[in-house]
Amino acid sequence: MTVDIGATRLRRLRRTPALRNLVRETRLDPSMLVAPLFVRPGRGVREPIGSMPGVARWSADRGADEAARLADLGVGGIILFGLPDSKDALGSEASADDGIVQETFRRIRELDLPLVTIADTCLCEYTDHGHCGPLAADGSVDNEAALERLAATAVSQARAGADIVAPSAMMDGQVAALRSALDAAGFGQTAIMAYASKHASAFYGPFREAVDSTPAFGDRRGYQMDPANGREALREMDLDIAEGADLLLIKPAITALDLIAAARARFNLPIAAYQVSGEFAMLAAASERGWLDGRRAMLEAVTAIARAGAGIVITYAAADIAGWLREDR
C-alpha cells in the first residue's frame, strides 16, 4: 500500500482552540504545583524580595494566611524555607521546636488546609558561614556531623506538622540518616523527598538573597553536583532510593530536562522538579520589561518541565499559574 504523504496534514488538529485542547498531551493542574514560602520572625510581615518579583518573606501568621490562599487556588502543596532569629556554626535553630519553620507549620496545621506541607531540610540558612553543615578543621563541611544535624532538624519539622521532609544539603547518606531518625522518633509516616540531583548552579542567586545564605567563603561545589554530570545524577538517584526516598527531586529544572526524562523512564517513584529562583526571576524580569509575554512564557516553561516527566513542579509562580488555569477552564 502506498501512502500519499501529501495527504498527511498534522495541522488539521491545530486549527481551533477546541481541537488543540482536545489533543493536548501534557496538561497542567494546580494540584501538581508546590509553592515555596520564605518565613521569618515577626508578626504581620510581608517583605518583598527584590530579585524575585511578586515573591515575599512572610512572618508565621501571614505565611499561614498565604498558605490558605494557595489552598483556595487548588495548589497542591507548599515548601517552607526559614530565616532564623540568629545563626551559629552548627545551624542550631534549624532543629529548634520553636523555630520559625516549626511555628509556621503549627499555624498551618491549625487551619486544616488541603495542602501537602513540605519542609526543606538543610542548614545553609541557619549557619553563620552559609554552608550546609558544620565545618571540619580544614574548612570543608563535615559530612557525618551534618547528618546528625539534618536528622534532628527533620524530626523537629515532622513533629511540627511536615508531611514531607526534603533534605537538600547533598550530604552522602542523608536520606538513610533521616529515615532512621524519623522512624526512631515515631514518624514512620513522614515521607522523604530526596534532592537527589541538585547541581551547583548559577541559577540559585536570587534564593540566596531571599534567605541570606550566600557562603561566607568558598562555594558549594564540593558537595553539590557538577552541572556537566548526568550519569552521576542518576547514580545519586539510585542511592537515594536504596536509602529509603519516597520521592525524587531534580533541580534546577529547565537545565535538567534530560535528567527529568531519564528519571521518569528509569524509576517508578514520583518525580518532582524545582523551577528555581533564577529560572523564575529571568522570566519575571523579562516580562516586566515587556520582552516576553510573561503568562505564556511561564506556562510554556512549566509545561516543558511536566512534559519531560515531572509529576510535581515546585515553582514561585504556583499561585499565578493556578489562577491562570482556573481562568482557562
Q: Is 87 one of the catalytic residues?
A: no
- Compute, in degrees rounded to 10, the torsion defined by CA atoms 242, 118, 52, 58: -150
Which DSSP symbol is given to 202? G
Which DSSP symbol is given to 127? B
Which residue out of 87, 107, 131, 251 is catalytically annotated?
Answer: 251
Which residue out of 87, 198, 199, 264 is catalytically annotated?
Answer: 198
Is 173 exposed, middle or buried, given 0-12, 13-18 or 19+ CB atoms closer than 10 A? middle
Q: Tell me which residue of 65, 62, 78, 82 sits closest to 30, measured CA to CA.
A: 78
- Compute, in degrees rounded to 10, the torsion defined by CA atoms 144, 194, 198, 67: -120
User: Which residues, including other chains, have CB under 8 Å from residue 305's CB and lie 6 or more apart?
Assistant: 253, 254, 257, 260, 273, 275, 313
User: Which residues, including other chains, have CB under 8 Å from residue 117's CB and lie 6 or more apart?
Assistant: 77, 78, 80, 105, 108, 109, 161, 162, 163, 164
Q: Which residues are the active-site residues?
A: 198, 251
